[in-house]
Structure 1
């Protein structure tokens, strides 16, 4: 897959899955808009992309803010003239049982995981419709498909991402914009490092392939959906979960 001449914007690309996606796209020729609320992490990603010989621009926009997202896409247009690929990866967790969950835990997860995707899709569609081409890939989760104890906020937000994906696939097809989602299962990232080993072992036993996934596993699915190999695929959810949920 060759992304030479393409510009990709990846939210939450300072670390974990988002960083891996950004680096994989850059390694195949894409210029990258790196977005993360951590300036330190985002700078490190930019440096690695530039070391690959590609151009990168840093933006620490909070995806939950419509104004900051609009400014981020304006920056991308100013720097690269267009945005061909948008990967909505930024996300947070604030796990708790229903009866203990606070309004703040619910609101934060919804603002970043769901409203953030909405904000970025809206700005992306406005820009992509001008060029008549675009690939939007939203990162959902197996939790959004099957539910998960202690994650009512996270599961609801990621289920909402799937609904956004299917709706916008119908709305934006007229502009030659493909909208798809990737739903990771249990992936070994900095976000899951704090999960106790006993819980990790329990999760792995539920995976037919017998292992946790890697950020590269998710990046490879994203690369396919971002490429022209998937030009006739839209409104779909690619479950990259080792068989955890079928």
Structure 2
């Protein structure tokens, strides 16, 4: 019997990521949006997933609704001890091992650049950039003990092109890309691969908070004519996390962005 293309696609998608079964995975920012879709994808593939977030209600929903082995831990990425505790908890949940870390936390606010307050700037940098630094530092500490690991940071296409009224966010995400490249250079010898996924506009609570005028104008700029959805970003993360599919990627950035940036 001849297999249909749909059947072949299903088989290929399973085989590409089958090595993720049984892996210990930390997903930061996993209570909603892209992080939740990523956590769901790993859990469905048989990974042991720890979802970390500051949103307690969202953590409860993730624990109760995601299919698979899912643990949750409250995390404030601005606090060093909270970061250390969350990373250690993920390793404990994985039997003392942390194989994969996905850092997907973030906030997105709007302000004209000349009117942006220092408090708004600092809050975004603290969560979207410094938080990634603190997480990577702790994640790599555990991974170095085993000589293996994958770290995937969620950046943004605004890291490349900038954006109106989001200078703080674009700067933070550009910093994430540069931080990831630098860490990748230092950690490769320890068997740790560090990469980024830089999505374009995606329908999440972050973009829901943007003005309708901004969303309409942004959609009109996209060659594909629409925003993505979180489930369309998760496969890029899975690719970077899996073997052999992701074995040759380090210091790289994947761009699932509806054509918003072509690199």
Q: Indicate the TM-score class for this superposition, using the shorter chain for normalisation.
A: over 0.9
Is contact 1:23-1:48 (8 Å) kept? no
**Which residue matches 1:21?**
38
**1:92 Cα deviation (Å)?**
0.5
The range that moved more, 5-14 or 192-201, is 192-201
Aligned pairs for 1:41-120 (under 5 A) are 41-49=58-66, 52=67, 54-80=68-94, 81-120=96-135
Q: Is the 8 A contact 1:166 1:179 kept in 2?
A: yes
Which residue in the other structure is 2:215 paired with? Answer: 200
SS at match of 1:210: coil
| Per-residue deviation, residues 10-46 of structure 1 (Å, max 9, x unmatched) | 1111111110100011111111111110111011111
Gaps of 5+ in 1: none
* Residue in 1 that maps onto 2:204: 189
Quote how far apart the aligned CAs of 1:78 are.
Answer: 2.3
Q: Take 2:214 and 2:90, find their aligned partners in 1: how far apart are those partners? A: 41
Shift of 1:77: 2.3
Local SS of the residue matching 2:179: helix
For this pair of structures, how many residues does the alignment match?
Answer: 243
Superposition CA RMSD, Å = 1.1
Mean CA deviation greater in 65-74 or 198-207: 198-207
Query: For structure 2, which runs of at least 5 residues remain unmatched after alignment?
Result: 1-16
The Cα shift of 1:208 comes to: 1.1
Per the normalisation by structure 1, the TM-score is 0.95
Report if aligned partners of 1:118, 1:164 keep a CA contact under 8 Å in 2.
yes
Aligned counterpart for 2:254 among listed residues 233, 238, 241: 238
Q: Which has the larger radius of gyration?
A: 2
> Does structure 2 conserve the Cα–Cα contact (< 8 Å) formed by 1:8 and 1:30?
yes
- Matching residue within 158, 162, 176 for 1:147: 162
Q: CA deviation at 1:48?
A: 2.2
Answer whether contact 1:188 1:212 (CA < 8 A) is retained: yes
**TM-score, structure 2 as length reference:** 0.89
CA offsets 1:51-110 (integer angstroms, 9 cap, x no match): x2x322211110111111111122222222111110110001222112211111011000
